[in-house]
Amino acid sequence: MTAPSPSSSPPPAEAVTPLVRGVAVLTALTEAGGTLSASALERSTGLARSTVDRITATLARMGYVRLDGRDAVLTPRVMELGNAYLSALRLPSLLDGEADALADELDESVSLAVADRDGIRFIHQATRRRAMSVSFRIGDLLPAERTAPGPLFAAEWTDADWSAWHTRRAADPTDAGFPAVPPRTPTAPTDFESRAAQARQNGWSLDDQLIEPGLVAVSAPVRAPVRASAPTSAPTSASARIACVASVVSHTSRHTAADLRETLLPRLRTTVAAMERRLREAAPPEPGPTPAGLATWTTASKHELGRDFVESLARGLTVLTAFGEGRSSLTLTDVAKATGLARATARRALITYEHLGLMAAEDRRFTLTPRVLSLGYPPLSRTTLAHLAAPHLRALADRLHEPTALAVLVPGTDPAEIQYVAVAAAGRVLTVDITVGTRLPATRTALGRALLHAAPHGYALADEELESGLRSIAVPVRDRTGHPVAALNVATHAARRTLDNFLTEVLPHLRATADHIQSDLHLASRFTHVPLA
Ligand code: PHB
């Protein structure tokens, strides 16, 4: 496989400049935690202000960012890029369940990581919430030598890989290229080569506070099954390629590193054996549907936004979404077909991505690299339903000049209660004023009824029942399985709108907003757990 070339080398002549710039903007937003002003984007990307504006306008049109005053803010929709990589990889859908079960059994965090050049990148996190725990996010990149998984991957490095690692260490003495970890002391000694040799012998590896004081981890490799095409005298398991590394992460207040190895490593190994069995027994992936009509969509946007729509950026980004489960390795022809792009356009996008290290090419087939997760995934993998719904609530309240709210059922309440988790006020003097956290009896509110008796395409009304003059209409918000997890409402004073007006003027907007929230939730929860609030 051709190693992804570092993006610091000059782009090939055929590279699509707007796509290179769009990727730079998405990466800068990701590293900043999801939000940057236009001037901060100018500074961090080195692009001119007019370029930044056109790129963010295009990303906004694609639904990947939201423009909020001067700020560009990443939206959950951008997770479709990382989702394309994670579904194509297939490891999360096959192994997340085992990782989560181990975290529950041990009451410690468990992660899955893949190799990303001389770093490791997380593809799953089963995180415990407690005071003494560091938790990385899906998509975070760590320097291999400061982690437990790193030596296991490095055990398979070639001389060229080692020399690339030495070059990177010398060029970046503080690990500035790894924003997820605290800076390294440039003088700190490293015994990485011997740790890698040890890891190869042991089949496990430890991190005794290399990232930061208190943080300890133990790791074991999950090896990919040897394919049927391999000779019958199958290589021993030790020679099968490492698909990913599973780790148990703890804190010295609970476990020393030695203690992790003695007490938790055996249980980690049992899980790894079960993971390897799953990989062996998994049925071949079913190719999912390819996204439809992308090229048509970009042409329509060009008509609408004119000069501000950077068509080659939009077309280039759609190329990433051609990948997915059962579509992990695609030819140029496959990509052109899936996206509806001209071959020449698709080809230039593929060349650009290979240059940026976002794709690898082998025998004329392209695959996404873990670096695709650097396009928005880490900050968004920690979102909540309340958080992702908030801008949609705001837009609805502004459009209708009525307050809107999102509520969930409070678990274990009998009679059932609802709790408000997000609200947007109408900005009127006389308005229904309910704050986040408020609890109400479910059966007396439209929100509660929409949650309790959610029928397909149904809505619920509460007409002056909770309070005279208060009229409320609500619809359910469903998770990926179709289960109603929240309800969205618009409330008004009965004197402002007739019931008829409520149904004809408000309900369609309410439904459209619920659909937007739902589609964000479905994208965000594909590979991460999205708490309600
Ligand atoms: C590590 O310190 O090596 C480490 C930290 C967090 C993880 C895995 C490994 O999830």
Compute the CA torsion angle 174, 179, 180, 183 (nearest 10 deg).
Answer: 20
The tokens for 267 are 């249980």
pLDDT greater than 70 at residue 218: yes
145 lines ligand 1 (CB under 6 A): no
Check residue 434 and give its pLDDT. Answer: 84
pLDDT greater than 90 at residue 133: no
Q: How far apart, in Å, are the Cα atoms of 242 and each of 160, 200, 367, 378?
A: 19, 12, 17, 23
User: Of 109, 159, 98, whose CA–CA distance to 133 is shortest?
Assistant: 109
User: Of 77, 108, 112, whose CA–CA distance to 94 is shortest?
Assistant: 112
Question: Three-state DSSP class for 258?
Answer: helix
Mean pLDDT of 471-484: 96
Of 196-205, 244-253, 281-290, where does mean pLDDT reach its minimum? Answer: 281-290
148 lines ligand 1 (CB under 6 A): yes
Mean pLDDT of 190-217: 95
Query: What is the Cβ-side half-sphere exposure of residue 521, based on CA atoms within 13 angstroms?
Result: 27
pLDDT greater than 80 at residue 62: yes
Check residue 466 and give its pLDDT. Answer: 79
211 lines ligand 1 (CB under 6 A): yes
User: 104 CA to middle of ligand 1, Å?
Assistant: 17
Digit-coded pLDDT (tens) for 392-408: 999 999 999 999 999 99
Check residue 4 and give its pLDDT. Answer: 42
- Domains of the chain with CATH codes: 17-75+292-380 (1.10.10.10), 91-281 (3.30.450.40), 385-524 (3.30.450.40)
> Percentage of residues in the chain with pLDDT exceeding 70?
93
pLDDT greater than 70 at residue 223: yes
Q: Return the number of other C-beta atoms located less than 10 Å from residue 74's C-beta.
A: 25
DSSP state of 62: T
Check residue 298 and give its pLDDT. Answer: 76
Check residue 292 and give its pLDDT. Answer: 59
Ligand 1 atom with the shortest distance to the CA of 109 = 10
**What are the two backbone dihedrals, phi and then psi, of residue 9, each rounded to the nearest 5 degrees?**
-75, 155
User: 522 CA to middle of ligand 1, Å?
Assistant: 28
Mean pLDDT of 222-231: 73
Check residue 190 and give its pLDDT. Answer: 80
Q: Which residues of 27-60 are buried (b: 16+ CB within 10 A; e: fewer)?
A: bbbbebebebebebbbebbebeeebbbbbbbbbb
Check residue 229 and give its pLDDT. Answer: 52
Check residue 5 and give its pLDDT. Answer: 43
Contact between 363 and 330 under an 8 Å Cβ cutoff? The reply is no
Orientation of helix 311-320 relative to helix 49-61, angle to 10°:
50
Check residue 189 and give its pLDDT. Answer: 74
The distance of Cα 355 from the centroid of its chain, to the nearest Å, equals 23
How is 368-391 classified by DSSP, letter by letter? E-GGGGGTTHHHHTT--HHHHHHH
Q: How far apart are CA 202 and CA 194, in angstroms?
A: 12
The tokens for 435 are 């704050």
User: Of 85, 47, 246, whose CA–CA distance to 153 is shortest?
Assistant: 246
User: 103 CA to middle of ligand 1, Å?
Assistant: 14
Ligand 1 atom with the shortest distance to the CA of 148 = 3
User: Of 389, 385, 384, 387, whose CA–CA distance to 513 is shortest?
Assistant: 389
User: Which H or E element spans position 207?
Assistant: strand 205-208
Beta-bridge mates of residue 125: 111
* CA angle 179–350–225, rounded 5-degree value: 75
Check residue 2 and give its pLDDT. Answer: 38
Question: Three-state DSSP class for 4?
Answer: coil
pLDDT greater than 90 at residue 3: no
> Percentage of residues in the chain with pLDDT exceeding 90?
83
Q: How far apart are CA 377 and CA 371, in angstroms?
A: 10
* CA angle 242–248–249, rounded 5-degree value: 125
pLDDT tier, 240 (very low <50, low <70, confident <90, very high otherwise):
confident
Check residue 293 and give its pLDDT. Answer: 58
User: Of 482, 474, 487, whose CA–CA distance to 407 is shortest?
Assistant: 487
Mean pLDDT of 453-478: 89
Contact between 473 and 446 under an 8 Å Cβ cutoff? The reply is yes
Digit-coded pLDDT (tens) for 256-274: 999 999 999 999 999 999 9
> Residue 310: which region, alpha, beta or left (left: phi > 0; alpha: psi -120 to 50)?
beta
Q: What is the average pLDDT score of the chain?
A: 92
pLDDT greater than 80 at residue 295: no
User: 5 CA to middle of ligand 1, Å?
Assistant: 26
Length of the chain (residues): 533
191 Cβ contact partners less than 8 Å away, ≥ 6 residues apart? none
User: Is the N-terminal amide bond of 531 cis, ω within 30° of 0?
Assistant: no
136 lines ligand 1 (CB under 6 A): yes
247 lines ligand 1 (CB under 6 A): yes
Digit-coded pLDDT (tens) for 9-28: 889 999 999 999 999 999 99
Q: How far apart are CA 485 and CA 521, in angstroms?
A: 10
Orientation of helix 507-524 relative to helix 79-89, angle to 10°:
40
Q: How far apart are CA 477 and CA 485, in angstroms?
A: 6
Ligand 1 atom with the shortest distance to the CA of 211 = 2
383 Cβ contact partners less than 8 Å away, ≥ 6 residues apart? 76, 524, 530
Mean pLDDT of 337-355: 96
Check residue 428 and give its pLDDT. Answer: 67
249 lines ligand 1 (CB under 6 A): yes
- Kindly report the pTM of this predicted structure: 0.94
pLDDT tier, 186 (very low <50, low <70, confident <90, very high otherwise):
confident
Q: Which amino acid is at 378?
A: P
Check residue 431 and give its pLDDT. Answer: 62
Atom 1, ligand 1: which residue's CA is nearest?
A: 147
Q: Which residues of 221-242 are buried (b: 16+ CB within 10 A; e: fewer)?
A: bbbebbeeeeeeeeeeeeebeb
Beta-bridge mates of residue 66: 73
Digit-coded pLDDT (tens) for 486-528: 999 999 988 999 999 999 999 999 999 999 999 999 999 999 9
Check residue 429 and give its pLDDT. Answer: 57
Digit-coded pLDDT (tens) for 95-128: 999 999 999 999 999 999 999 999 999 999 998 8
